[in-house]
Amino acid sequence: MATIKLTEKELLQELKQIEAAKKNPERFGYLYNRYYKQIFLFIYKRTDDENVCGDITSQVFLKAMLNLKKYTYRGVPFSAWLYRIASNEVNQHFRNKKNERVVSMDKSDIERVFGMIDEMPESDNKDLFRQVMLDSLDEMKEEEVQIIELRFFEKRPFSEVGYIMGITENNAKVRVYRILERLKKRMKKKLEGVI
Amino acid sequence: MKHNYKIKLKEPDLTDEQVYAHKDFDKVFKRYKSVVDPLHRKPLYKNPKTFLGVVLFTVIGILVYYAMMEEETVQKQEEVHLAKAHKMKEAREMTPLPGTAPEPWITYNLPEGQEKKFDLPGGLSLSIPKDALVDAKGNPVSEVSTIDVRFFSDPQTMAIQGLNLETQPGSDKVLNSLNAFEIRILQGDEELQIREGSSLKLDLAGENSNQSLQECNLYGLNRVTTTWEPIKGKIQVLAPGSTEDIKKPEGDGFGMIEEGKARSKKKPKTQIKEKDSQSFLRSFSVEKLGVFNLGKEIDRGSWDEVALRFEDAEGNEVHFFGMYLMNREMNTVQYLWPKDDNFTFNVKLNPDQDQLLAGITPDGRLAVMRAESFKKIDAGSKEVQTVRLEIIEAEISSIEDLKRVLSFQSVS
Look up the ipTM and state it. 0.80
**Which residues in A have their CB inside 8 Å of a CB on B?**
25-26, 28-29, 32-33, 36-37, 40-41, 44-45, 48, 50-51, 53-54, 57-58, 61-62, 65-66, 94, 100-107, 110, 134, 137-142, 145
Nearest Cβ partner for A105 among B7, B21, B24: B7
Global pTM exceeds 0.90: no
DSSP B130: T
| Contact yes or no for B406/B158 (Cβ under 8 A) | no
Most A CBs within 10 A among B4, B6, B7, B14, hence the mutation to make, goes to: B7
What's the farthest any 2 CA atoms get from each other in chain B? 152
The angle, 0 to 180 degrees and rounded to 10, between the axes of the packed helices B25-36 and A50-66 is 50
**Interface with chain B: mutation pick from A138, A153, A155, highest number of B CBs within 10 Å:** A138
State the CB neighbour count (10 A cutoff) for residue B184: 16
Q: How far apart are CA A191 and CA A187, in angstroms?
A: 6
Closest CA to B199 of B229, B227, B232: B232
Q: What gap in Å lies between CA B240 and CA B375, rounded to an integer?
A: 46
Q: Note whether B165 and B332 are within 8 A (CB).
A: yes
Q: Does B32 sit within 8 Å of A104, measured CB to CB?
A: no
Q: Distance (Å, rounded) from C-alpha B371 to C-alpha B352?
A: 9
Q: Is the distance from CB of B308 to CB of B345 less than 8 angstroms?
A: yes
Question: Nearest-CA distance from A128 to chain B in Å?
Answer: 15
Cβ atoms of B142 and B113 within 8 Å: the answer is yes
CA of A6, closest CA in chain B: separation in Å?
Answer: 23
* B283: enclosing H helix or E strand: strand B278-286
d(CA A86, CA A59) in angstroms, rounded, equals 9
Q: How far apart are the first and last CA of chain B?
A: 124
Identify the pLDDT of residue A66: 94
How many inter-chain contacts (A to B, CB under 8 Å) are there? Answer: 101
**Which residues of A fall within a CB distance of 8 Å from B30?**
none
The single-letter DSSP state of residue B140 is B
Contacts of B24 in chain A (CB under 8 A): 58
- Residues in chain B within 8 Å Cβ distance of A33: 25
Among B8, B9, B35, select the one facing A66 at the smallest CB separation: B35
Are B283 and B233 in contact, with CB atoms under 8 Å apart?
yes
State how far the Cα of B374 lies from the Cα of B377, in Å rounded to an integer. Answer: 5
- Residue B264 Cα distances to B108, B179, B328, B384, angstroms: 11, 20, 26, 45
Which residue among A37, A57, A100 places its CB closest to the CB of B5? A100
For residue B17, the distance in angstroms to the closest alpha carbon of chain A comes to: 11
Residues of chain B whose beta carbon is less than 8 angstroms from a beta carbon of chain A are 1, 3-12, 14, 16, 18-25, 27-29, 31-33, 35-36
Contacts of B57 (CB under 8 A, 6+ apart): none
CB contact at 8 A, B158 and B180: yes
Q: Do A29 and B5 touch (CB under 8 A)?
A: no
Rounded to the nearest angstrom, the minimum Cα separation between A30 and chain B is: 10
Which positions in chain B touch A41 (Cβ < 8 Å)?
12, 14, 19
Contact B339, B352 (CB under 8 A): no
Compute the nearest-CA separation of A24 from chain B (Å).
11
Mean pLDDT, chain A, integer:
85
The parts of chain B modelled with pLDDT lower than 50 are 91-95, 99-100, 242-276, 278, 412
| Closest in A26, A138, A142 to B29, CB measured | A26
Residue type at A184 in one-letter notation: K
SS3 B176: coil
Inter-chain CB proximity A138 and B28 less than 8 Å = no
Helix (H) or strand (E) holding B367: strand B366-369
Length of chain B: 412
Among chain A residues, CA nearest to B27? A58
Say whether B21 and A54 touch across the interface (CB within 8 A): yes
pLDDT at A57 over 90: yes
Residue A56 has pLDDT above 90, yes or no: yes
Percentage of the residues of chain A whose pLDDT score is greater than 90: 29
Q: Supply the pLDDT for residue B322.
A: 84
Q: Identify the CA nearest to A117 among candidates A21, A191, A11.
A: A191
Q: How would residue A35 be classed by pLDDT, with cut points 50, 70 and 90? A: very high
Closest in A25, A65, A103 to B7, CB measured:
A103
pLDDT band for A156, please (50, 70, 90 cuts).
Answer: confident
Cα separation of B199 and B215, whole Å? Answer: 23
CA distance B279 to B238: 5
H-type alpha helices, chain A = 8-23, 28-47, 50-66, 78-97, 107-116, 126-138, 142-148, 158-165, 169-194
Instruction: List, for residues A99-135, the tens digit of each pLDDT value.
Output: 777 787 777 777 777 777 766 666 667 778 778 888 8
Say whether B7 and A25 touch across the interface (CB within 8 A): no
Taking alpha carbons only, the member of A48, A16, A12, A46 closest to residue A30 is A16
Q: Which residues contact A103 (CB under 8 A, 6 or more apart)?
A: A46, A137, A145, A146, A149, A153, B5, B6, B7, B8
Q: What is the pLDDT of residue B261?
A: 35
For residue B16, what is the nearest residue in chain A, using CA coordinates? A37
CA distance A70 to chain B (A): 15
Nearest to B373 by CA among B337, B325, B302: B325
Angle between helices A158-165 and A169-194 (to 10 degrees): 100
Closest approach of chain B CAs to the CA of A1, in angstroms? 10
Long-range contacts of A74-78 (CB under 8 A, 24+ apart): A75/A159, A76/A159, A76/A160, A76/A163, A77/A3, A77/A4, A77/A6, A77/A11, A77/A14, A77/A160, A78/A14, A78/A18, A78/A31, A78/A35
- Residue B56 to chain A, least CA–CA distance (Å): 32
C-beta atoms of B28 and A50 within 8 A: no
DSSP 8-state class, residue A99? P
Between A44 and A10, where is the model more confident? A44
Q: What's the pLDDT at B36? A: 84
- Tell me how far apart the alpha carbons of residues B126 and B71 are, in angstroms, rounded to a whole number: 63
Tell me the pairing of strands B124-128 and B116-120.
antiparallel
